[in-house]
Amino acid sequence: MSNRAARLFVVLAAFLVCNALIAEFVGVKIFALEPTLGLDPLNWNLFGQSGSLSFTSGVLLWPFVFLMTDIINEYFGRRGVRFISWLTVALIVYGFLAAYVAISLAPAGFWVAVNSERGVPDMQAAFANIFGQGMWTIAGSVTAFLIGQLIDVAVFHRIRLMTGERWIWLRATGSTAVSQLVDSFVVLYIAFVLGPQQWPVPLFLAVGSVNYGYKLLMAFLLIPLIYVTRRIIRAYLGNEASERLQAVARAK
């Protein structure tokens, strides 16, 4: 850990894993965009579906996971991204197993009704509903994340081979655009079309398109942050060490 490159990898990886885990657990809440922003519902109509623009709360954090993926890709290459992607999947599964163990514990009698005056008459039921996400949802999320990460790293390096070290925004945004197109629809298809809710295809296409549109918009909005992060890393590592890391990542 005396090596600055090693410390950098740990920090980037920790931030990626932390955001992914939080996104998985808070993603159970669906929020309406327009009321959140103090606006009237847009009553959008897409694939025959209409209403307010709704997203999972986890979607707010996933763009930062994509950003960390691209930064790790830039300095530590395919092996770095693949390692942290598999580690993230393992930790997500571990997190849900821990949640299911906690749900199965017999609740203390006083705790069940402790928040009844605040509108939560049964804390055990509330806890189980928030943390006990269905297996189809977990399977869809984990599968989509892993496929998206593997596609992201492949597209990132394909663009890098074509453009060299120019246009980091293009390889970062381009890889995110392709990977998240797959991710946005795979997770919904497994969790809600194949799963017990049996969503109709028009609803699946509408929700998937809205979520992908948000992720694509965020990919462009985060372009300045890519350059800021790169500048910070270069200042931390030094020009020589930074260029050496990038060269090794490019070569592998």
Q: For residues 76 and 9, is the Cβ–Cβ distance under 8 A?
A: yes
Question: Is residue 155 scored above 80 in pLDDT?
Answer: yes
Encode pLDDT of 24-67 as tens digits. Answer: 888 778 888 888 888 887 777 777 767 777 777 888 888 888 88
Block residue for tokens 């830039």: 74
Angle between helices 4-26 and 223-237 (to 10 degrees): 150
Q: For residues 152 and 81, is the Cβ–Cβ distance under 8 A?
A: yes
Block residue for tokens 């509330």: 126
Phi, psi values for residue 192, rounded to 5°: -120, -20
pLDDT of residue 10: 93
Encode pLDDT of 116-141 as tens digits. Answer: 888 889 999 988 888 877 677 788 88
Section 239-250 average pLDDT: 84
Question: Is residue 151 scored above 80 in pLDDT?
Answer: yes
Encode pLDDT of 177-191 as tens digits. Answer: 888 888 888 888 888
Q: Residue 249 — very low, low, confident or very high, per pLDDT cuts 50/70/90?
A: confident
Section 234-240 average pLDDT: 89
Q: What is the dihedral of CA 68, 73, 78, 79, to 10 degrees?
A: -60
pLDDT of residue 1: 54
- Closest alpha carbon to 140 in 98, 182, 81: 182
Q: Residue 171 — very low, low, confident or very high, per pLDDT cuts 50/70/90?
A: confident
Encode pLDDT of 208-231 as tens digits. Answer: 888 888 888 888 888 898 889 989
Encode pLDDT of 101-114 as tens digits. Answer: 999 999 998 999 99
Neighbours of 14 (CB within 10 A): 12
Neighbours of 100 (CB within 10 A): 15
Is pTM beyond 0.75? Reply is: yes
Task: Give the residue ranges of DSSP H helices in 27-118.
Answer: 33-36, 62-104, 109-112
Task: State the average pLDDT for the chain.
Answer: 85
**What would you report as the CA-atom Rg of the chain, rounded to the nearest whole angstrom?**
20
- Distance between CA atoms of residues 197 and 126, nearest Å: 20
pLDDT of residue 2: 60
Percent of the chain whose pLDDT exceeds 70 = 98
pLDDT of residue 218: 87
Question: Is residue 245 scored above 80 in pLDDT?
Answer: yes
pLDDT of residue 13: 94
Q: Residue 174 — very low, low, confident or very high, per pLDDT cuts 50/70/90?
A: confident
